[in-house]
């Protein structure tokens, strides 16, 4: 009997070891918000969606410029005639015999439905704009971010809500209903299906279009049309699309279920704790090497570290300040210096909103405050640009894990040039020179007082504020800088209200194209440019907007690169801001985990590539 127990225990141990060998566990801190590709716009949700859904094309390994086929068996290009009309027509040969997880066969209709659903879905703050801009016709020479803009224009109303009876999604009249249907039909005509080909006719050239369709861009992931409709998603019709527009997350019928064609299916999702993926053996690319993938939310670093050491986790999230604790662990591999597609910047507000604003003191150039147009003065901006200790900040605050940008284009992207323009660097003599020059010497003689605000909990941003304070006072004791923190919601409100004299924020690539950085940073209507005050907006309309628009009218990489370099030179000449850092990422895993690779556009890890 005892012998039987020992043998049974041995079999159980072997079974447990096999199970562990077939499972990869990642421990991180993010919370998955949704499994619906049309909703997700955060990296935690994106990582889960990556495992479950496929896109038309995918990046080639670590490359950000080369693609491999995925659901499309070809990468459209002009040489073989699958990109036509000067970059406005794309032909995709849809792979045959691809199974969705429920056994349905993927067709070109599923691809078309997926793209149209994302655009009509268009939830507030979501990623729809990335598909809408290339697929919808421009209005007055500007890209259209939402189908609702065309519905408003066709109906001749000021607000989208004017199309409906108050408090409902019922069209107000026949004209409103017709405008809504006509707007959808404008989108629908851009798609053509011939046999097993999906042909997309763009109304205008859009150079980053393939990036927007690549794996990792979950807004263009392909879902099962039949399954989606059966589960209460948009029914695919033109005459009711507005009912499905901008839902709340809990009322999105696909937010916690999936039916993709990816290498893993959803085994279970314990919200806020963990998600488990199971290998899909019918995957068109062949079964994954592992049977299960697990993403587990573990908020305490010490717990994640112990799990990594014990083999309970194969890879973990390690904040920069804790890297020294894992770099010499036995059985652990640390990979560093991975350039992220992120640019952080300290912005100058050219026209500060002075109404009820405690951050500008007296609001005058009297030594007790600053005027609202303080940073409209180019000498002031240049003085602050030379004041900041760029190298010290990266070395001491970011532990050397960052690069110093010379503009809004990250290293590794089209248009980046390490020498054009030159970077600002700390030079207190030059800073002093420009402070003395500003306001014909009045600023230097009277001094100033202002408050720099950062979002609570961000240690790096707090330290950058302290550095500005210290060096300003070193140059001139009359330069008084106070520092204050706000919770994120309050910080965001004051930033959008234009009350912050200086503010620190960053931009993470939506897709690896310089337009995705130049437009938000430099454009007069950009996410950041539009918040820098009327004087900047007027300057950007004259100097930046035309170049940004020109960069999207050609697909020639050399011409586009030259334009983005010119934009960065212009930004340098006016001391647009203080370019603090382009972060360098890292990856921490156990030695026996094989197949991991870095791609800056991938959210999280690719379980399909892994083995043990």
* Residue 604 confidence class, pLDDT cut points 50, 70, 90: very high
Digit-coded pLDDT (tens) for 239-267: 999 999 999 888 999 999 999 999 999 99
Q: Express as a percent the part of the chain with pLDDT over 70.
A: 97
Q: Name residue 201's beta-bridge partners.
A: 89
Q: Is 582 helix (H, G, I), strand (E, B) or coil?
A: strand
Spatial CA neighbour of 209 closest among 193, 194, 220: 220
Determine the pLDDT at residue 458.
87
Digit-coded pLDDT (tens) for 74-105: 999 999 999 999 999 999 999 999 999 999 99
Contact 119, 134 (CB under 8 A): no
Break the chain down into helix, strand, coil percent, rounded to 5. 40, 20, 40
Is 301's pLDDT higher than 50?
A: yes
Determine the pLDDT at residue 10.
40
Determine the pLDDT at residue 7.
40
Residue predicted with more confidence, 419 or 534: 534
Is 551's pLDDT higher than 90?
A: yes
Q: Is 453 helix (H, G, I), strand (E, B) or coil?
A: strand
Full strand arrangement of the beta sheet holding 191-194: 83-84, 89-93, 197-201, 191-194
* Residue 90 host element (H or E): strand 89-93
Determine the pLDDT at residue 457.
84
DSSP 493: H
Burial class (CB in 10 A: 0-12, 13-18, 19+), 169: middle
DSSP 514: T
Burial class (CB in 10 A: 0-12, 13-18, 19+), 46: buried
Phi/psi at 344 (nearest 5 deg)? Answer: -105, 145
Beta pairing, strands 264-270 & 274-279: antiparallel
Is 160's pLDDT higher than 50?
A: yes
The Cα 4–Cα 237 span in angstroms is 65
Average pLDDT, stretch 444-468? 94
Average pLDDT, stretch 184-194? 98
Lowest-pLDDT choice from 14-28, 210-224, 281-295, 479-493: 14-28
Burial class (CB in 10 A: 0-12, 13-18, 19+), 180: buried
Is 436's pLDDT higher than 70?
A: yes
The Cα 90–Cα 362 span in angstroms is 58
The Cα 424–Cα 30 span in angstroms is 35
Beta pairing, strands 83-84 & 89-93: antiparallel
Q: Other CB atoms closer than 10 Å to residue 395's CB: what's the count?
A: 13
Average pLDDT, stretch 138-148? 94
Average pLDDT, stretch 426-438? 98
* Residue 12 confidence class, pLDDT cut points 50, 70, 90: very low
Q: Tell me the domains of the chain and their CATH numbers.
A: 43-245 (3.90.76.10), 342-585 (3.10.105.10)
Is 184's pLDDT higher than 50?
A: yes
Q: Mean pLDDT in the chain? A: 94
Beta pairing, strands 448-455 & 479-486: parallel
Digit-coded pLDDT (tens) for 517-541: 999 999 998 999 999 999 999 999 9
Phi/psi at 153 (nearest 5 deg)? Answer: -65, -45
Determine the pLDDT at residue 19.
52
Is 16's pLDDT higher than 80?
A: no
Spatial CA neighbour of 443 closest among 382, 398, 357: 382
* Residue 18 confidence class, pLDDT cut points 50, 70, 90: very low
* Residue 9 confidence class, pLDDT cut points 50, 70, 90: very low
Determine the pLDDT at residue 17.
40
The Cα 29–Cα 270 span in angstroms is 14
Is 231's pLDDT higher than 60?
A: yes
Digit-coded pLDDT (tens) for 267-292: 999 999 999 999 999 999 999 999 99
Determine the pLDDT at residue 13.
40
The Cα 47–Cα 100 span in angstroms is 19
Determine the pLDDT at residue 555.
84
Beta pairing, strands 292-297 & 479-486: unpaired
The contacts of residue 93 (CB under 8 Å, 6+ apart) are 72, 73, 74, 82, 196, 197
Burial class (CB in 10 A: 0-12, 13-18, 19+), 416: buried
Determine the pLDDT at residue 125.
87
């Amino acid at each position: 009997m005892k012998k039987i127990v020992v043998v049974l225990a041995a079999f159980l141990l072997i079974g447990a070891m096999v199970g562990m060998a077939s499972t990869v566990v990642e421990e991180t801190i993010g919370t998955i918000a949704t499994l619906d590709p049309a909703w997700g716009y955060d990296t935690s949700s994106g990582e889960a969606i990556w495992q479950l859904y496929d896109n038309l094309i995918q990046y080639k390994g670590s490359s950000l410029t080369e693609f491999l086929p995925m659901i499309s068996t070809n990468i459209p290009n002009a040489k073989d005639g699958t990109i036509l009309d000067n970059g406005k027509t794309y032909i995709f040969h849809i792979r045959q015999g691809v199974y969705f997880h429920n056994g349905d066969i993927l067709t070109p209709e599923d691809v078309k439905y997926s793209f149209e659903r994302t655009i009509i879905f268009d939830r507030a703050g979501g990623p729809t704009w990335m598909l809408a801009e290339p697929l919808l016709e421009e209005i007055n020479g500007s890209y259209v971010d939402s189908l609702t803009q065309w519905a408003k224009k066709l109906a001749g109303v000021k607000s989208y809500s004017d199309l409906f009876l108050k408090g409902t999604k019922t069209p107000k009249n026949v004209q409103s209903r017709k405008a809504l249907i006509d707007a959808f039909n404008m989108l629908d005509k851009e798609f053509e299906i011939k046999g097993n080909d999906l042909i997309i006719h763009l109304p205008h050239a859009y150079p980053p279009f393939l990036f927007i369709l690549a794996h990792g861009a979950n807004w263009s992931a392909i879902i099962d049309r039949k399954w989606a409709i059966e589960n209460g998603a948009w029914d695919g019709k033109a005459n009711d699309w507005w009912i499905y527009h901008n839902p709340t997350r809990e009322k999105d019928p696909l937010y916690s279920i999936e039916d993709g064609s990816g290498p893993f299916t959803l085994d279970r999702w314990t919200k806020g704790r963990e998600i488990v993926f199971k290998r899909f053996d019918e995957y068109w690319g062949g079964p994954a090497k592992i049977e299960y993938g697990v993403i587990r939310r573990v908020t305490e670093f010490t717990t994640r570290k112990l799990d990594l050491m014990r083999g309970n986790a194969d890879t973990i999230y390690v904040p920069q300040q804790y890297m020294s604790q894992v770099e010499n662990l036995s059985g652990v591999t640390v990979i560093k210096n991975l350039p992220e597609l992120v640019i952080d910047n300290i912005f100058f507000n050219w026209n500060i909103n002075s109404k009820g604003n405690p951050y500008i003191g007296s609001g005058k150039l009297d030594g007790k405050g600053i005027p609202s147009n303080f940073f409209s003065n180019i000498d002031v901006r240049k003085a602050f640009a030379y004041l900041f200790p760029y190298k010290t900040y990266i070395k001491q605050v970011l532990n050397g894990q960052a690069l110093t940008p010379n503009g809004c284009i990250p290293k590794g992207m089209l248009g980046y040039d390490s020498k054009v323009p030159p970077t600002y660097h700390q030079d207190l003599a030059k800073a002093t020179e420009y402070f003395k020059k500003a306001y014909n010497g009045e600023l230097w003689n009277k001094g100033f007082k202002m408050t720099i605000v950062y979002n609570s909990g961000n240690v790096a941003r707090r330290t950058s504020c302290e550095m500005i304070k210290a060096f300003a006072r070193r140059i001139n004791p009359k330069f008084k800088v106070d520092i204050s923190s706000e919770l994120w919601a309050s910080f965001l409100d004051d930033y959008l209200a234009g009350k912050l004299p200086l503010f620190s924020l960053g931009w993470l690539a939506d897709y690896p194209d310089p337009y995705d950085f130049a437009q938000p940073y430099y454009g007069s209507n950009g996410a950041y440019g539009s918040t820098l005050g009327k004087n900047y907006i007027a300057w950007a309309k004259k100097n930046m907007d035309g170049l940004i628009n020109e960069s999207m009218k050609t697909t020639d990489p050399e011409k586009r690169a030259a334009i983005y370099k010119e934009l960065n030179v212009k930004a340098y000449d006016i001391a647009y801001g203080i370019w603090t850092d382009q972060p360098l990422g890292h990856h921490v895993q156990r030695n026996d985990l094989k197949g991991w690779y870095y791609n800056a556009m991938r959210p999280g890890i690719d379980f399909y590539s892994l083995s043990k």
